[in-house]
Amino acid sequence: MKIVVIGAGAMGALFGGYLSQNNEVCLIDTDAEKVDKINKEGITIIGKEEQKTFFPKAFLDASQVGKADLLILFVKALFSKQALEKSKSVIGEDTYVLTLQNGSGHEDILKQFVRRDRIIIGTTQHNASITERGCINHGGRGCTNIGLLAAQNNVLDSIKDSFESCGFDMHISEDIEKLIWDKLFTNVSASVLTGVLQVKLGYLIDNSHGLFLVERLVKEAVAVANGDGMDFDEQEVLEKVKQVLINAHEGYTSIYADLRDKRKTEVDTISGYVVRASRRNGVPAPSHEFIVELVHALEDK
What is the Cα–Cα distance from 146 to 126, expressed in whole angstroms? Answer: 14
Cβ atoms of 19 and 159 within 8 Å: the answer is: no
Q: How many residues does the chain have?
A: 301
Alpha-carbon dihedral angle through residues 148, 157, 251, 43, given to the nearest 10 degrees: -110
Question: Residues 76, 183, 200, 242: which is the catalytic one?
Answer: 183
The CA angle 114-258-84, to the nearest 5 degrees, is: 15
How many helices (H) and strands (E) in the chain? 14, 12
Closest to 244 (Cα-Cα) out of 158, 144, 172, 174: 144
Cβ atoms of 195 and 270 within 8 Å: the answer is: no
Q: Please indicate whether residue 183 is annotated as part of the active site.
A: yes
Cβ atoms of 91 and 67 within 8 Å: the answer is: yes
Spell out a b/e string for 175-209, using b for 16 or more CB atoms within 10 Å of the CB, else e.
Answer: ebebbbbbbbbbbbbbbbbbbbbebbbbbbbeeee
Catalytic positions, written as ranges:
183
